[in-house]
A and B are shown apart, each in its own frame.
Chain A
Amino acid sequence: MTRQRRVVVTSPQTRVALARRRLGHTALPPHLAPGDLERARRIHREQLRWALVAVALLCAVIVGIPLLLAAFPGLDDVRVFGVPLSWLAVGVLPYPLLIALSRWQLRRAERIERAP
């Protein structure tokens, strides 16, 4: 087997930055074609709105459950199959909720992107 020379793998951005630093000039500022610009504005607005809805739902899960558990200590004494309900609310319940939320958000984001 022939030995290959090892090379440093850097990201395109790092290479651009390093080249810029060596050559001492700045890159062209990023730009968008007018048609793309309008579309990008619309997509950005839509994505932001639904991302914020997803963040709000995430808060409802991970802030809501501790608040409920703090407010209703009686949940410690309710048992499902011998396990305290409040333990299930920490150890098991959040995970299916998080999976459902991420599936929902993924669908939403992909649909917005596909829209004309």
Chain B
Amino acid sequence: MIAAGTGSAPMVVTALMLVVIATLLIGARGVAIRSTSDFLVASRRLSPTVNAAAVSGEYLSAASFLGVAGLVVKDGIGALWYPVGFTAGYVLMLALVAAPMRRTGALTVPDFAQARLGSPGLRRLCAVAVIAIAVLYLVPQFKAAGLLLNLVGGTPYWVGVVVAGAAVSITLALGGMRAATYVQAFQFALKMVLFTVPAIWLLVHVGAETRSSALTPVEFTTFAQETPVEFRLDTRLTITEPTTVAVDGQPPQVLAPGDYTARTGSTWRFAAGSDVPDVAGAVAPGGESWTRPLLDPSGAGFPLLATLSVLVATVLGTMGLPHIVVRFHTSADGWGARRTAAITVAMLSAFYLFPAVYGLLGAALLPELFLTGGTDTVVVALPSRVDTGWAGQLVTAMLTAGAFAAFLATSLGLLLALSGAVSHDLMSTAAPVRRLRFTTLAAALVVVALALPAAHLDISVLVTSAFAVAASTFCPLLVLGLWWSGLTARGAAAGMVVGLLASAGVIVVGLLASPPPGLVSVLLGQPALWSVPLAFATMVLVSLRGTAPAWAPAAMLRLHLDERRARNRSS
């Protein structure tokens, strides 16, 4: 594959610096807000539109910016169901969660558990789930950052991950994202521009022939021209025809049919007209199953089941994401929170029309990426493939800056949610600022350590695992807690434990055991389809065996009263 090239490095570095400086400058405006009460009062003045931009800004992570297009190249058109699920989650949030959740006054789900059910034990259990979700969501963000720096700067993957960890830690040490709502709203506008403008440029620039070949894909079976393929991971290739290959600049040799291993970092230059080798667990772009609009990862053979499982996880999981729940608290009241959710649906819809552009053009122009385990790089690799001049370099710089902004915004929000859960909910006393900051740095270290061996995992797939855990634990807790007064603390705890084991536990088992493609691998890899109903059933059945306290109906019902009317009456 073609690296973005060292020629664009100065421009990329400049773009990255601009993103970071703009973020810090807008954050500095927040210095005017000085005390806790200022902070709380300021939040009341923000319109639902600004809030929705902030929600979208924090939500659009590296998985949306890079991962979805990468999965389109790897798995096909069906991967476009991921962004549908990412967006539809907010419709559910709007219908079931936003307004009553805002009225609990709870900033996090552990807060909510204690406020609604009055159980400190449940609060700690929720904190454990927050940690599981945040770690599963953070690891792919750091993977994306490592990959980006690897692609642009040519540094090894691990250096990229460590540099990304350092960048996050420094931003946190400088005071995190002050005036976070404005910063996140700015981040949304930034990502929107840095994603859509390059997409339109690419569409115009590739020409009519490439546009039509992107829409009528042919299975990638032979190299049309001499193609260098740079392997990002050790990859086992099966060659079926004698193939002429030049490895790492050595003179070309003819490889006999058989199995070969391409080492990490090596470049194989395939001769024009030679056959594309097979890679275990990957399908070549453009084939029969690739063009079907259903998800069938690595040809497991259960497209409908896999598609629905991803949709269940993403749609039901959105409401339980720790960095998003906090964002809804910035709305003045339940009315504002509901409007925020509705506007967020429209904003995300606009953004998610574009990953398909990168995915389809990537499959047409850079199909060899599927061999390398580096499909997540397709967004950033495309401009230099289309234009080797300054325009291509500029667009590469824009996309790199946007992807890094996506990584930064989501990671900071998640790290703060994660360290908040550790220091507020798991440890028992009020946390001083110093300890909160120490916890955040420790969490960043742990995530960097976990991201190092995660180079071969797909960003969007791992993020969807985080959604699956949120859907199996917090979705039943929130939905039942907000709408059913019969929920007991014991029932909630039992359902949470079952949901946590059935989602996080099963995903870890699936990663370690790596079962062969088939029904089992689909059910282990994306367990939401069965783990969410299981968690709901456990919560309801265990609650029915006990009795909720006498104050439970009042605690639940008051969440559905409009606070404006209540204020008017009392004044």
Contact = CB atoms under 8 A, between A and B. Distances in A.
A101 B80 CA distance: 20
Contacts of A47: 560
B91 A54 contact: yes
Given A14-B107, A110-B335, A37 B123 contact: no
A73 to B, nearest CB: 7
Nearest to B306: A66
B431 A8 contact: yes
Contact of A62 (B39, B88, B292): B88
A86 B549 CA distance: 52
Contacts, number: 192
Contacts of B472: none
Given A6-B433, A83-B215, A113-B335, A32 B342 contact: no
Interface stretch (B307-315, B400-408, B503-511, B537-545): B307-315
B352 A102 contact: no
B105 A105 contact: no
Interface in A55-86: 55, 58, 61-63, 66-67, 69-70, 73, 76, 82-84, 86
Interface string B313-349: 0010000000000000100000100110110011001
Interface residues of A, number: 66
B190 interface: no
Contacts of B349: 95-96, 98-99
B561 A43 contact: yes
Which applies to chain B's interface (DSSP): helix, strand, loop or mixed? helix
A103 interface: yes
Nearest to A2: B34
A109 B120 contact: no
A11 B43 CA distance: 12
B94 A40 contact: no
Given A11-B111, A18-B430, A102-B90, A40 B105 contact: no
Interface string A15-48: 0111001100010011110001101110110011
27 contacts: A8-B433, A9-B40, A11-B107, A11-B111, A13-B107, A14-B108, A18-B429, A29-B549, A30-B551, A30-B555, A32-B557, A39-B561, A58-B92, A58-B95, A66-B81, A76-B291, A76-B292, A91-B80, A91-B353, A92-B353, A94-B87, A95-B87, A99-B349, A102-B90, A102-B94, A105-B94, A106-B342
Interface of B: 31, 34-36, 39-40, 77-78, 80-81, 84-85, 87-88, 90-92, 94-96, 99, 104-108, 111-112, 114-115, 118, 120, 123, 212, 215, 291-294, 303-304, 307-308, 311, 315, 329, 335, 338-339, 341-342, 345-346, 349, 352-353, 356, 424, 428-433, 436, 483, 549-551, 554-558, 560-562, 566
